[in-house]
Amino acid sequence: MIVAGCDVGSLTTKAVILNNKRILSQAIISSGFKPEESAREVMATALSFAGLSTDDIQYCVGTGYGRERIPFVSTALSEIACHAKGAHWLLPTARTVIDIGGQDCKAMKLDAQGNVVRFFTNDKCAAGTGRFLEVMANILGFDLDELGKVSLQAKDPLSLASTCTAWAQAEVIHHLNAKRTKSDIASAVNQAMAARVAILARSVGIEKDVCMTGGVAKNAGVVSALERLLDVKIRRLRIDPQLVGALGAAVHARQKIGG
């Protein structure tokens, strides 16, 4: 039973192909202006990695902001349902999932079957989203992965007075001009991000196990700051957290055809 999930996000497009309970292949590309083209490209890449053709896919579920414009999917589901399902597939004990994507942030509470029972989203403000980190990393001259690693080396961590992306940007520039170390500033950035996300996560009610999905889950600084703020261990998932939405879509696809 070969199924697929395709997640067209605002910044990246992802695809996962499943054969029963095994991930056959996966792919991530940057999202273009046309969701349908990004979807076709990422799926072609994933199919080629697996040595398959489109005809081999029995069912495909689409998700992400571009889900309604993916031409080859059988069903489109919300990214909330897909991230929840994907996280639960990887970690069946997961009851709280925090997903931080490029332009939004979601906290979800799951039941034992991986269904969403409650969720909260922030999709109106860049604070608390991947975009916030991207802007700050750019000013500091890091890529996103480095921002996390460097922040863990902070000796005298700073704090940011505002989580507004525009104001925080000005504050980071001020700290740079004041010759503060980049690791201390990076720590402040991750801490500010985590503080914002923690509010959303608390709104849904933290229940163990907690895990994170989305690109920001790769930032060790944010994860570590969130663990402190929420006073809970955040369980790491065994695949790239950016792929969890596409994986969840594939798991839904499997369930749709009775798998």
Partner 1 sequence: MRMPTKTMRLFDDLLESPQNTLVEQASQDGRIPIGYSCAIVPEPLIMADRLFPVRLHATGVTGTEMADNYLSSFVCSYTRSLLEFAMDDRYEYIQGWVFVPSCAHMQRLIDNLEYLRKPAFSHVIDVPRKVNDVTIAWMVEELSMLAENLSSHFSVDLGDESLSRAIAEWNSFTEIVRSVGELRKRTHPPLTGTEFHTMLMSTLASPKDLIIPKILDFKQEVQQRGSPVDYRARLMLVGGHLHDPGFIRIIESQGGLVVADRFCTGSIPGLMPIEMNGDPIRNLAEHSFRKTLCPRMMEEFHRRVESIIETAREYKVDGVVIEIIKFCDLWGVDAMPLITALRKQGIPVLKLEREYRLGSEGQLRTRVQAFIESMGT
Q: For 136-200, give the DSSP string.
A: HHHHHT--HHHHHHHHTT-SS----S---HHHHHHHHHHHHHTT--HHHHHHHHHHHHHHHHHHH
Closer to partner 1 by Cβ: residue 65 or 142: 65
Give the Å distances, CA to CA, from 208 to 97, 177, 205, 239: 10, 42, 10, 20
* Binding-site size, partner 1 (CB under 8 A): 16
CB of 72 to partner 1, least distance (A): 19
User: Mask of contacts with partner 1, 76-105, x by CB under 8 A?
Assistant: -xxxxx----------------------x-
Report d(CA 247, CA 241) in Å as an integer: 10
Instruction: Examine residue 65 and tell whether it contacts partner 1 (CB under 8 A).
Output: yes
Phi and psi at residue 59, to the nearest 5°: -155, 140
Site track 6-45 with partner 1 (rule: CB under 8 A), x = hit: ----------------------------------------
Please answer whether residues 230 and 201 qualify as being in contact, where contact means their C-beta atoms are separated by less than 8 angstroms.
yes
Residue 110, helix vs strand vs coil: strand
Closest CA to 7 of 57, 55, 74, 66: 66
Identify which of residues 95 and 175 has a Cβ nearer to partner 1 in the complex.
95
Pick the binder of partner 1 from 93, 115, 138, 159 (CB under 8 A).
115
Q: Per CB under 8 A, does 250 bind partner 1?
A: no
As a whole number of angstroms, the distance between CA 137 and CA 32 comes to 22
- Closest approach of partner 1 to the CB of residue 206, in Å: 18
Is 123 an interacting residue with respect to partner 1 (CB under 8 A)? yes
Nearest approach, Cβ of 86 to partner 1 (angstroms)?
Answer: 14
- The residues that touch partner 1, with contacts defined as CB under 8 A, are 65, 68, 77-81, 104, 115-119, 121, 123-124
